[in-house]
Structure 1
Amino acid sequence: MANFLINNQDTVSAYGLHFLKGTYSQLDAMPELKDNGLSIDWASEDGTERYHGEKRFQSITYNLPCAILATSTADYEQKLRALQNFLITAGEFTLDLMGRYRRFKLSYQNMTGFNRIGNNAQFTLVLINDHPTEYFTIPA
């Protein structure tokens, strides 16, 4: 069984896309708390007086280290174009971590540090999680 799925497609079969070391640590990151504007730092008192009611969180930006591995130049071009077309046309999509039974709803932001080496490429896929506190289950 594939470890990563994008919109229920195996990332390796569909795009030759492999997630590299550091992916899990990115996806395990906690979201930053939004400033609710209801805190006061009194000059004459220690600490800060804060409202601890309903909390809201910032979107999380993930920098996922990736590689496209291909067997030939034609295979590389096909896999890269398929991934690029998907990222350009997709709005929000799902990324499933099958080994952890975890689903993320993400949006594409950027592809940085692109480095092609022969029929392979390494890059960082920058994705946005606008649902940082929600846990989505993977349907059976």
Structure 2
Amino acid sequence: MANFLINGQDTVAAFGLHFLKGTYSQLDAMPELKDNGLSIDWAGENGVERYHGAKRFQSITYNLPCAILANSTTDYETKLRALQTLFITAGEFTLDLVGRNRRFKLSYQNMTGFSRTGNNARFTLVLINDHPTERFTIPA
């Protein structure tokens, strides 16, 4: 079985999309705590007095290193167009890490550093996680 699925589709079979070294470290990152505005930095005292009630977190931006690997120019064009169509039409989509039984609900933001060599391309997918503290499992 595939290790990565987008909206239930094997990323390699559907898009020729391979996630490269560094993907897991991006997806393992913790979100930044939002400033709740309830802290006081007393001039005559060390440290800061903070309210530690309900915590809220920023969205996480992931920069996932990727490649599209194809067998021919036609295969490359087909896979690239399918991936572009997904990101142009999808608002929020799921990215499943099957081996970790982990699901992310993400939004597309950008594709940077795009470089094509023959029938292959390398780039960074910039994706947004607006549910940084929720844990979604992959349905059986």
Scaled by the length of structure 2, the TM-score of the pair is 1.00
* Offset, 1:10: 0.2
Task: Measure, in 1, the Cα distance between the counterparts of 2:79 and 2:137.
Answer: 28
Are residues 1:114 and 2:110 paired? no
Deviations along 1:79-98, one digit per CA (max 9) or x if unpaired, are 00000011000000000000
Structure 1: which 4+ aligned runs deviate by more than 3 Å? none
Residue in structure 1 matched with residue 81 of structure 2 by the alignment = 81
Give ranges in structure 1 of 5+ residues lacking alignment.
none
Counterpart Cα distance in 2 of 1:9 and 1:80:
15
Gaps of 5+ in 2: none
Which secondary structure does the structure 2 equivalent of 1:96 belong to?
Answer: strand
Structure 1 match to 2:72: 72
Query: How many angstroms apart in 2 are the aligned matches of 1:33 and 1:129?
Result: 14
Percentage identity across paired residues of the two chains: 86
Q: Which amino acid aligns with 1:37?
A: G
Q: Report the alpha carbon displacement of residue 53 of structure 1 after superposing the two structures with TM.
A: 0.1
Aligned residue in 1 for 2:49? 49
Shift of 1:47: 0.3
Matches within 5 A, 1:30-45: 30-45=30-45
- Matches of 2:21 and 2:60, distance apart in 1: 19
In the other structure, the counterpart of 1:6 is 6
Note if 1:20 corresponds to 2:15.
no
**How far 1:28 moved relative to its partner?**
0.1
Count of matched residue positions in the alignment of Structure 1 and Structure 2: 140
Secondary structure class of the residue paired with 2:135: coil
> Who is 2:105 aligned against?
105
Helix, strand or coil for the counterpart of 1:93?
A: strand
- Cα deviation per residue 1:73-120 (whole Å; 9 max; x = unaligned)? 000000000000110000000000001000000000000000001000
